[in-house]
A and B are shown apart, each in its own frame.
Chain A
Amino acid sequence: MIAQVTKELMIKEIKSYFKTPLGYVFLVIFLFGIGYLTFEPGRGSFFYMREASMSAFFRYIPWMFLFLIPAVSMKLWAEERKSGSIELLLTMPITVRQAVVAKFLASWAFIGLALLGTTPMIFTVSYLGNPDFGVIILGYLASFLMAGALLAVGGFFSALTKNQVVSFILTVVACFILIMAGSPPILEFISALLPKYFVDLFESLSVLNHFDSIERGVFSLSNLWFFAVTIFFWLFGSIILLNENKAN
């Protein structure tokens, strides 16, 4: 199903994350950051919740992703466009679509690796109590899907501009909007202005809503649909953007 050339590019990309210290630095920052947020005493943290579950951990994942995923995705295309290596890439026997998919999958796998690095917490929680493992697995699945969606958004903005910093900022803003779309203040604001259907519309568009509903233990096809469609369309947008540039 996945073309050979896509797989090769994907593996090359994944390796490139580790050729410079950048990949390791990112992983360390991510793991330290989420560890700190989860256990730091205060708002909704692990010991404060007195619950042998990973809900404190999953609660902070979206916010860690908000800043760190754009950091990963900004590298995807902007650098290559600026340095011109993108021409080299596209003269090789690979279509734009395959290249976009390959880079996306590579960045997704990288985040998956970062999530894998957090698994020792599962042991902590099982030692301290009797957690609901189904919910934990679902939480990781939700995090992984959300990472995919945010990466697709990031890839789009990375393809949009030659400047990495600009794409980082745009991605953070876009991800913030998508994450907060379902939050109470915004929904209230919308419900004051527009009929009920628009409120439902925004709720269904919110990444956080879908993430929360999976993380609480129920996996609905509507959640899967949301992430699949989001990823598909943002990748599709990246392909359009890069195709245009290829023609120039």
Chain B
Amino acid sequence: MINSKNEKYLKIFLGLFSMTLMIYIGTTLLKRARVDFTQENLYTLSKGTKSILSKLDSPIKLKLYYSKTAANKGTEGLRAFNNHFLYVQDLLRQYTSHSRNNLTLEVIDPRPDTPEEEDALAYGLKKFNLTETERYFFGLVAENESGTENYRIF
């Protein structure tokens, strides 16, 4: 029924499939198991931070606005901020995982002429006009029941 050549390809296909599955499951589960090797412990939260996070009692929604596509299209200097963005994103992700479900993080790339861009403008995030239509945003908005605050990272 299945000759040896088909069997070979079948095995390989199954292998690829199970590899993908294993990688996905494993990486999702093991994400928290990490060691920070940087000199200044850039990627580890301090005790103070952790205790503040654990004392949060009402849900807060964090929205990180970063124009990644605009940055990638821009100059080298602009692209350099991608690293900082990754660092900020990592930091915020750590905050949310330590916050016992009170913090949620949403990362938004406000493309031109989208509702996300309008929201970004409405929150008052500082914008930089790169070209006629592309704008560059890098800011954080924190929102809870009583109101919103925004923090300009750049």
Residues of A that sit less than 8 Å from B by CB? 43-44, 48-49, 132-135, 137-138, 184, 188, 200-201, 204-205, 212, 216-223, 225-226, 229-230, 233, 236-237, 240-241, 244, 247
Contact = CB atoms under 8 A, between A and B. Distances in A.
Given A201-B20, A220-B35, A237-B16, 13 more contacts: A48-B76, A132-B39, A132-B40, A184-B69, A218-B38, A220-B32, A221-B33, A221-B34, A222-B33, A226-B27, A233-B16, A240-B15, A244-B4
B39 A134 contact: yes
Nearest to B19: A233
Interface in B2-27: 4-5, 8, 11-12, 15-16, 18-20, 22-24, 26-27
A137 B37 CA distance: 9
Contact of A205 (B8, B20, B87): B20
Nearest to B72: A184
B37 A233 contact: no
A58 to B, nearest CB: 12
A212 to B, nearest CB: 8
Contact of B31 (A137, A216, A220, A241): A220
B103 to A, nearest CB: 18
Contacts of B90: 218
Given A184-B68, A225-B27, A241-B8, A219 B22 contact: no
Given A220-B34, A229-B22, A204 B27 contact: yes
